[in-house]
A and B are shown apart, each in its own frame.
Chain A
Amino acid sequence: AQSVTQLGSHVSVSEGALVLLRCNYSSSVPPYLFWYVQYPNQGLQLLLKYTSAATLVKGINGFEAEFKKSETSFHLTKPSAHMSDAAEYFCAVSEGNTDKLIFGTGTRLQVFP
C-alpha cells in the first residue's frame, strides 16, 4: 500500500526565513503527489500537485515542491516565510490511479516575527 511520511510534526521559522517541509512517499511507480494547507478552523485547500508533467511544481502563495524520484521525496519549500503562512500542511499521494488520497500526518508551521 502506498503511504507518505512527513518528517517533523512541528516546524518553526522566523519571518523571512526559508520554509522547508519534508515529505517522502512509498510507491513502486511515479504517483500523483499533493500538498494541502489547512488554516485554523478551516478545511484543507490545495497548494500544488505533481502529475509527472514537470519535477518542479509551483503552487499558490509562493510555495513550490520538487519531485525527486531517486530520493522518493516531494519536499515543500518557500524562500521567505510570511506570518500568514502559519498553518498545518499535509502531503498526500493518490492510491494507484484513483482519487483516493492517502494523507501524511501533517506538519504544523509556526512563523515568528
Chain B
Amino acid sequence: NAGVTQTPKFQVLKTGQSMTLQCAQDMNHNSMYWYRQDPGMGLRLIYYSASEGTTDKGEVPNGYNVSRLNKREFSLRLESAAPSQTSVYFCASNLRWGSTGELFFGEGSRLTVL
C-alpha cells in the first residue's frame, strides 16, 4: 500500500536553480495538496487541487507553480529557488473536496537552498 509517494526525499539547490517536486497517490483520491513545514510555524498550504483539472492558491503560493498532471499526480515547481524556500514539503490527498479534511500525507521532501 504505497499511499502518497513523494520524490525526491532530499534535495540541495543553489539560489536561482529550478526544480520540481513530484507527488503521486494510488488511492483514487480527487483532491491533492502541497504544504510546507517550517520550525515553529506548523504546516502552511501552498497550492491545492480540488479535482483533476483545477488548481488554486493556498496561504503561501509566491515562488511556486503547480501542475495537476492527471488524477494521480500533482507536482510542485520552484522556478528560481531562494533560501527562504528551504523547508520540508508535504504532499497530501483526500477522497474528494468536501470530505471533511481527512488528509493522507506523503513522507515529505526536505529541500535546502544555499
A contact residues vs B (CB 8 Å cutoff): 9, 32, 34, 41-46, 49, 51, 90, 92, 94, 97-106
Which of B14-22, B63-71, B73-81, B90-98 lies at the interface? B90-98
User: Is the CB of B1 closer than 8 A to any CB of chain A?
Assistant: no
Q: Are A103 and B90 in contact (CB under 8 A)?
A: no
What separation, in Å, do the CA atoms of A77 and B109 have in the docked complex? 30
How many A-B residue pairs have C-beta atoms within 8 angstroms? Tell me.
64
Minimum C-beta distance from A108 to chain B (A): 11
What separation, in Å, do the CA atoms of A79 and B26 have in the docked complex? 36
Given A99-B97, A105-B41, answer yes or no on A49-B102 (Cβ-Cβ < 8 Å): yes
Given A90-B42, A105-B42, answer yes or no on A99-B101 (Cβ-Cβ < 8 Å): yes
Minimum C-beta distance from B88 to chain A (A): 10
Contacts of B105 in A (CB 8 A): 43-45
Q: Are A46 and B48 in contact (CB under 8 A)?
A: no
**For A97, A98, A99, which residue has the most chain B Cβ atoms within 10 angstroms?**
A99
Contact with A along B1-26 (1 / 0, CB 8 A): 00010000000000000000000000
Please, which residue of chain A has its CB at the minimum distance from the CB of B95? A99
Contact of A97 among B40, B50, B98, B103 (CB under 8 A): B98
Contacts of B58 in A (CB 8 A): 100
| B contacts with A, residue count (CB < 8 A) | 27
Given A42-B107, A99-B94, answer yes or no on A34-B101 (Cβ-Cβ < 8 Å): yes
Q: Are B101 and A94 in contact (CB under 8 A)?
A: yes
Q: Are B100 and A94 in contact (CB under 8 A)?
A: yes
Given A43-B90, A43-B108, answer yes or no on A101-B42 (Cβ-Cβ < 8 Å): no
Beyond A45-B105, A97-B98, 15 extra complex contacts between A and B, CB < 8 Å:
A43-B4, A43-B106, A43-B108, A44-B105, A46-B103, A51-B100, A94-B101, A99-B31, A99-B48, A99-B94, A99-B97, A99-B100, A100-B48, A101-B103, A103-B42
